Amino acid sequence: MKVLIDHNLEGHAAILMGMLTQQGWADLILIRIFTFKDMDLPIDSNDRQVWQLAQSQQMVLLTANRSMKGEDSLEQVIREENRLDSLPVITLGDADRFLSDRAYRNQCVDCILTVMIDIELWMGVGRLFIP
């Protein structure tokens, strides 16, 4: 599974991958992390551009702060463009807490694993707030 990491979550992604490796999940589930830089995506890209790129490249988007208002907001894009075969957007409820609270971080990782293991069940749901 390919995951596009929002530009402000690159440190979070490193922690996530470390946890998945440490727990042995990286051997069972192929998860490849891509940054905006990897995808030649400017960090000031609007939500529509980010979502469309993620979908066109068959990537789950992991984010924490994409907007909910405006014509190019993530919520509006999902309402307009989400289909039954669209991959979900996973949104961390509290990105700062992910870094500072081990129990919360474990909950987030468990949620992400749940989605990745059975990705077909989550197609078309739009946005998932975790944990």
pLDDT digits (tens, 9 = 90+) for 54-92: 999 999 999 998 767 788 999 999 999 999 999 999 999
Which residue blocks in the chain are alpha helix, DSSP H? 10-22, 25-28, 47-56, 74-81, 95-100, 102-117, 119-122
Structural domain span for residue 79? 2-130
Give the Cα separation of 109 and 104 in Å (integer): 9
pLDDT at residue 13 is higher than 70: yes
Q: What value does the CA radius of gyration of the chain take, rounded to a whole number of Å?
A: 14
Q: What pLDDT is recorded for position 67? A: 67
How many domains does one find in the chain? 1
Give the predicted TM-score (pTM) of the model.
0.93
